[in-house]
Amino acid sequence: MMRLLYRLLAISGFLVLGAHPGAAQAPATVPGYVGSRTCAACHASEARAWTGSHHAWAWTQPGEATVLGDFDDVVFERNGVTTRFFRRDGAYLVETEGADGAMRAFEVTGVAGVAPLQQYLLATGAGRLQAFDIVWDVEGERWYHLYPDQDLPPGDGLHWTGPYKNWNARCAECHATGFLKNYDAGARGYDSRQAETGVGCEACHGPGSAHLAWAKAPQGYDPAAWPGSTAKGFTIGFGAGSPETEIEQCAGCHSRREPFGDGNPLPGTAFHDAYRLALLRADLYHPDGTIKDEVYVYGSFLQSRMSANGVRCSDCHDPHTAGLKAEGSAVCAQCHSPAGNQRFPTLRLADYDDPSHHFHPKDSAGAQCVGCHMIERTYMGIDGRRDHSFRIPRPDLFLATGAPNACTDCHAERNAAWAAAEIAQRFPDSDRRGPHFSRTFAAARHDPAASAENLLGIAERDGLPGLIRASALDLLRPVADAAIAARAAPLIGDDDPLVRAAAIALQRGAPPMDRVQRLVPAFEDPARSVRIAAARAFLDAPVARLPARISEAARNAAGEWRASLLAKTDFPETQMAIGGAALVLRNPRAAEQAFRETVRLDPQRVEAWAMIVRILAATGDRDGARVALDDALAANPSSEVLQSLRGEAE
C-alpha cells in the first residue's frame, strides 16, 4: 500500500515526494511528557478540579472505581443475539457476536466516559480496540444499544467490529494525551501508544518536561534548548490577546474534522495545520447551519457573533472541571446584562433575564437563554448537545429551508407559522428577520447551478463567517466550470483558510493553464490544509517543468498530502480518495487495488464495488468483473446501482 501511494503521487515527473515540513509552531526539539501526577505536585488546585472531570474520565483502565456498568452476569438481547456482561478472574468480559458471526468472550481493556453514558473498549486482536455499541446508561442504570433502529450484522462496515467503530483510528486521539495510532498497513494491525489515557494536563498545555526544568531552576533555564517553546517551556501559550489559540486547541477534539496526522498534534499546532474542518454539508448541518449530525462544537461556534468578537471557550467553561462557570443563564449574564463586560464594549446593556425579553415565566425552561439561543439535539441515544452558534430563533425560515427553530422545539403542538407570527408581534422592529444565506443553501442543495450567482455572492461577502462563505463555494463543486472558477479565483487569497481551500477546489473547472497559474501561490500558503488542497487540485495539471522555488513548494505540498493519506490508510474513505486519484492519473490497476481495500474495510461501499467492476470490464477482464459483481451483490443484495450493473453485464 505504501509503495502504491508513493507511485501514485509522483505526479507528472516533478512532484517527486520528499520530506514534508511540520507545522510552523512545532519546536525543533520537542519536550517529553511527564504525566498529570507530576503536574499536580505544583498545581494542586487545578488538579483537584480536573480529577473527576469528563476530561479525566475520557479514557480509563477497567477496575472497581472506573467501571459503572452492571457486569454481574447480565444479558442483553437484540436481533436474536444474546450479549452477556460478566466478570472472571478480576477481568470484565463481554460475550457477543464477533466479526465472523461466532459467539465469543471479549475482554474489556478500556473504559470511555463517565456520564451520561459509559462505553467499553474490547480487544479483538492485532492491537485493535473496538468501541462496543451496547453501552451503559449511567443515570438510568441500564444497558442500551446506540443504534436501535439499525440491523448491523457481522460483515457490515458499521458492525461493532468494523472500521467505523475502531477506537485506535476514530476515537482514541480525543480521549488520550500524546496519542500515536501507529497503524501498520502491511500487517493491518496497530501498535498504538499514548503518554496518558484520558485528557490530561499535557493534552492542552503541551508536554511538560521543559516546563518542569524551568520550574526546578528558573534562573538556570535555557529557553534556547527548546526552540519554539514559550519562556516557561510550553509548546503553547494561552495569552489574553490571542483567543484563537485557546479556541483552536479545544477545537482539535471538539469539532467534526479530518486529521492530517497519525495522532495528537503537538499542542500549539494551528488547527488548519492539523485538520480539515467539515463544512456545512447537508448530512451534517441544516441549511441555516444549525446542528444535524454529531458535529460537536467548533463548526457551530465559528458561525456566531461571539466568535467574531473574541469570546473564547474559557469565558463560559472552566477549563479544568470542564463544566460551566456559572449556573443556568448566569453564564450568559456575565456579559449580557445591564452591567455588560468591558472586554466587549459593543454589547447592548439590558436585562435579558426578564419576561419582557424572553416572554416566559421567570426561572422556567423557556426563560433560560439556552432554550432559545442554543437548541439541543440528542446523540448516542441519551447525550444532549447544544448548538453553539448562539443564533436568534428564525421560525420564519422554516417553510423555505426546513431548518429547525427553538420555538417549535418546545411548543411541539404548534407550527412554524405560528411561531413566526409570535416573534413578529413581540419584536415588530427587529432587524434580524432580513435575507438569510439558508434560503440559498436550501435551494442549492437541490440545484447548485441555478443558485450559482447567489452562492458566489455569499462567498464574496466579507461580513459573513468564513465557514459559511467556504460552504457556499463547496456547494458549487459539482457544477464548477470556467466561469465559476474564474469568479472564485480571487478568494484563493482570502484571509480565511477555509475560504481559500474551498476556492482552490473549484479550480478543477478552470482551463488547465489558468488552473496552474491560480494554484501556484497556494503551495506556499501558511495553512497546511490549503497547501494540501492545492496539491489535490494540481494532481493532473499539464505541467512539465516549474521554476525551482515553485517546484520545491509543490513537492512539499504533495508530501504533506501523501503524509495525510498514509496516516489514514485504515479509513475506507481514504482508500476511496487514493482510488480516485489513481483514476485521474489513468492508473487503473492502482485504482482497483485501492477500491478493493475499501470494500475489504467496508463491504457496503457500493461506489467502490461499482468502480472495481467497471475497471475490470474496461481493461478486458470480463470474467473478473462478473466475479466482483457477484461478491458485491452478496454484500449488498438490494443495491440498485449494482443491480443496474448486472443488467449491463447481461
248-277 pLDDT, tens digit each: 999 999 999 999 999 999 999 999 999 999
% of the chain exceeding 70 in pLDDT: 95
Residue 45: pLDDT above 50? yes
Q: Are 4 and 574 in contact (CB under 8 A)?
A: no
Residue 2: pLDDT above 50? no
CB atoms within 10 A of CB 370: 17
pLDDT, residue 431, reads 87
pLDDT, residue 9, reads 52
Q: Which three cell numbers stand for residue 177?
A: 494525551
Residue 175: pLDDT above 80? yes
Residue 320: pLDDT above 80? yes
Of the listed ranges 53-57, 130-134, 236-240, 607-611, the least confidently predicted one is 236-240
Mean of pLDDT values over 58-64:
98
- Bridge partners, residue 258, by sequence: 276
Mean of pLDDT values over 272-284:
98
Residue 22: pLDDT above 80? no
Beta strands 275-277; 257-259: pairing state: antiparallel
The DSSP element (H or E) to which 471 belongs, if any, is: helix 466-475
Q: How far is CA 613 from CA 108, 155, 248, 598, 621, in A?
A: 40, 20, 43, 14, 9
pLDDT, residue 396, reads 93
pLDDT, residue 7, reads 47
**pLDDT bracket for residue 23 (50, 70, 90):** very low
pTM for the model = 0.94
**pLDDT bracket for residue 544 (50, 70, 90):** confident
Is CATH 1.25.40.10 correct for 571-649?
Answer: yes
DSSP for 548-599, written as a single string: HHHHHHHHHHHHHHHHHHHTTTTSHHHHHHHHHHHHHTT-HHHHHHHHHHHH
**pLDDT bracket for residue 20 (50, 70, 90):** very low
**pLDDT bracket for residue 392 (50, 70, 90):** very high
Mean pLDDT, all residues of the chain: 93
Mean of pLDDT values over 61-82:
97
Domain ranges of the chain: 74-197, 278-434, 438-558, 571-649
**pLDDT bracket for residue 624 (50, 70, 90):** very high
**Which of 536, 513, 508 shows the shortest CA–CA distance to 523?**
536
Residue 192: pLDDT above 60? yes
Q: Which three cell numbers stand for residue 646?
A: 448486472
**pLDDT bracket for residue 5 (50, 70, 90):** low
pLDDT, residue 367, reads 95
Q: Work out the burial of residue 295: count CB atoms within 10 Å of its CB; fewer than 13 is exposed, 13-18 middle, 19 or more buried.
A: buried
Residue 245: pLDDT above 70? yes
pLDDT tens digits along 132-144: 999 999 999 999 9
Residue 377: pLDDT above 80? yes
Residue 12: pLDDT above 50? no
Residue 568: pLDDT above 70? yes
Report d(CA 374, CA 386) in Å as an integer.
5
Mean of pLDDT values over 411-434:
92
Residue 11: pLDDT above 90? no
Beta strands 134-137; 189-190: pairing state: unpaired
R_g of the chain, CA atoms, integer Å: 26
Residue 540: pLDDT above 80? yes
